[in-house]
Amino acid sequence: MVRLNEDKQVVQMVRDGLKRTGGYCPCRLEQTEDTRCMCKEFREQIADPEFEGYCHCLLYYKDLSDSK
């Protein structure tokens, strides 16, 4: 299961950054389709059944405990 970060300040900061960048990851310098939120890197991590953790900018978290 993928969920938002539980830290509401982090979520608000990243969402503000997404608004400022037009939907691109505010943590990345390049603005390409690969860095549009939800970025390619995290989509690939989600596809990995062994991956558990945060996306690069800490907005999303993939939790394995709900999928077992």
Give yes or no for residue 20 having a pLDDT over 60: yes
Closest by CA position to 57, among listed 15, 22, 1, 8: 15
Tokens describing residue 9: 């300040």
**pLDDT at residue number 59:** 97
Distances (CA, A) of 26 to 33, 36, 47, 60, 61: 13, 9, 23, 14, 17
Do the domain assignments include residue 68?
Answer: no
pLDDT band (50, 70, 90) for residue 66: low
- Domain that residue 44 falls in: 2-62
Do the domain assignments include residue 67?
Answer: no
Do the domain assignments include residue 39?
Answer: yes
Do the domain assignments include residue 14?
Answer: yes
Identify the residue whose tokens are 């800490």.
58
Task: For residues 40-51, give the mean pLDDT.
Answer: 96
> What domain count does the chain have?
1
Do the domain assignments include residue 18?
Answer: yes
**pLDDT at residue number 67:** 52
**pLDDT at residue number 22:** 97
pTM: 0.87
